[in-house]
Chains A and B, each alone.
Chain A
Amino acid sequence: MTELKRWIFPVLALALSSFLLAGCDKIPGKPEPEEAYQRPTEVTDFNVLYTTYCAGCHSLDASKPAAARQLNEALYLAFAGREAILQITEDGVPGTTMPAGLIDKGGKLTEEQVGIIVDGIVERTPPLSQEVTDLPPYRAELGRIEEGREAFSRYCAGCHGEDGSGGPKAGSIVDPAYLELVTNQSLRTTVVAGRTDLGMPDFRNMVPGEVMSDEEVEDVVAWLASHREEPDNPAQGNEERND
Chain B
Amino acid sequence: MTKQLRNIALWLDRRLHLSQIWEATAGHGIPKSSASWFYVFGSATMLCLGVQIVTGICLALIYQPSAQEAYASLHYLNYEQPLGWFLRGMHYWGSNFMVAIMLMHMTQVFVFGAYKYPRELTWVSGVILCLLTLGMAFTGQVMRWDQDAYWGLGIGVSMLGRVPFIGPELTHFLMGGPIIAGNSLSRFFTLHVFIIPGIVLALLSMHLRLVLSKGINEAPTAGKPVRRDSYEEEYEEMVHRGGARFAPDAIGKDLIFGGIVLGLIVACVLLFGPKGPEGIPDPTLINTNPRPDWPFLWFFAVASLMPPYMESVVLLLGPVVAIGIVIALPFFDNTGEKKWTLRPVSTVSLILVVVSLAAFTWYGATSPWSPEMDAWSSEPTPSHMIDGRTPLELQGALVFQYKQCRNCHALDGIGGQRGPALDLVADRMTPDQLVRQVVQGSGNMPAYGQNISPAEVKAVVAFLHTLHTEGRLPAQTALNLHEDPEGSPAGGDE
Which A positions have Cβ atoms within 8 angstroms of B?
A: 1, 3-4, 7-8, 11-12, 14-15, 18-19, 21-23, 27-31, 33, 36-40, 51-57, 59, 63-68, 97, 99, 166, 170-173, 175-178, 180-182, 198, 231-233, 235-236, 240, 242-243
A–B pairs, 7, beta carbons within 8 Å? A11-B263, A37-B146, A56-B377, A57-B377, A172-B391, A178-B459, A242-B404
CB-based contact A36/B380 at 8 Å: no
* Residues from 145 to 169 in B contacting A, C-beta threshold 8 Å: 146
B143 at the interface (CB under 8 A from A): no
B89 at the interface (CB under 8 A from A): yes
Q: Nearest Cβ distance between residue A207 and chain B, in whole angstroms?
A: 20
Query: Which of B79, B279, B380 sits near A33, CB closer than 8 Å?
Result: B79
Chain B residues closer than 8 Å to A54, beta-carbon distance: 377
B489 at the interface (CB under 8 A from A): yes
B493 at the interface (CB under 8 A from A): yes
User: Contacts A22-B83, A29-B269, A38-B279 given; 18 further ones with Cβ under 8 A?
Assistant: A7-B256, A15-B259, A18-B266, A36-B79, A40-B285, A55-B377, A55-B379, A56-B380, A63-B383, A65-B387, A67-B397, A67-B401, A166-B390, A172-B391, A177-B459, A177-B493, A178-B391, A236-B453
CB-based contact B255/A53 at 8 Å: no
| B2-10, B14-22, B270-278: which lies at the interface | B270-278
CB-based contact A181/B386 at 8 Å: no
Known: A22-B270, A28-B273. A67 touches B454 (CB 8 A): no
* Residues from 97 to 112 in B contacting A, C-beta threshold 8 Å: none
CB-based contact B256/A8 at 8 Å: yes
B406 at the interface (CB under 8 A from A): yes
Q: Nearest Cβ distance between residue B411 and chain A, in whole angstroms?
A: 11
Q: For the complex, give the distance between the alpha carbons of A14 and B280 in Å.
A: 36
B378 at the interface (CB under 8 A from A): yes
CB-based contact B272/A28 at 8 Å: yes
Chain B residues closer than 8 Å to A18, beta-carbon distance: 263, 266-267, 270
Q: For the complex, give the distance between the alpha carbons of A7 and B252 in Å.
A: 10
CB-based contact A171/B390 at 8 Å: yes
Question: How many residues on chain B are close to A (CB under 8 Å)?
Answer: 73
Q: For the complex, give the distance between the alpha carbons of A105 and B71 in Å.
A: 30
Q: Nearest Cβ distance between residue A181 and chain B, in whole angstroms?
A: 4
Known: A22-B83, A232-B489. A67 touches B270 (CB 8 A): no
CB-based contact B375/A15 at 8 Å: no
B38 at the interface (CB under 8 A from A): no
B389 at the interface (CB under 8 A from A): yes
B185 at the interface (CB under 8 A from A): no
The 3 closest A-B pairs by CB, nearest first: A171-B390, A29-B273, A97-B402
Chain A residues closer than 8 Å to B259, beta-carbon distance: 7-8, 11-12, 15
- Residues 402-413 of B, flagged 1 when their CB comes within 8 A of A and 0 if not, give 111010000000
Q: Nearest Cβ distance between residue A235 and chain B, in whole angstroms?
A: 8
- Residues 466-486 of B, flagged 1 when their CB comes within 8 A of A and 0 if not, give 000000000000000000000
Q: Nearest Cβ distance between residue B465 and chain A, in whole angstroms?
A: 13
- Residues 355-393 of B, flagged 1 when their CB comes within 8 A of A and 0 if not, give 000000000000000000011111111010011011111
* Residues from 267 to 297 in B contacting A, C-beta threshold 8 Å: 267-274, 276-280, 282, 285, 287
CB-based contact A171/B392 at 8 Å: yes
Chain A residues closer than 8 Å to B489, beta-carbon distance: 232-233
Chain A residues closer than 8 Å to B273, beta-carbon distance: 27-31
CB-based contact A232/B270 at 8 Å: no
Closest to B83 in A: A22
Q: Nearest Cβ distance between residue A22 and chain B, in whole angstroms?
A: 5
Chain A residues closer than 8 Å to B83, beta-carbon distance: 22-23
Chain A residues closer than 8 Å to B272, beta-carbon distance: 28-29
Q: Nearest Cβ distance between residue A116 and chain B, in whole angstroms?
A: 16
Closest to B377 in A: A56
B451 at the interface (CB under 8 A from A): yes
Q: For the complex, give the distance between the alpha carbons of A29 and B84 in Å.
A: 12
Q: Nearest Cβ distance between residue A194 and chain B, in whole angstroms?
A: 13
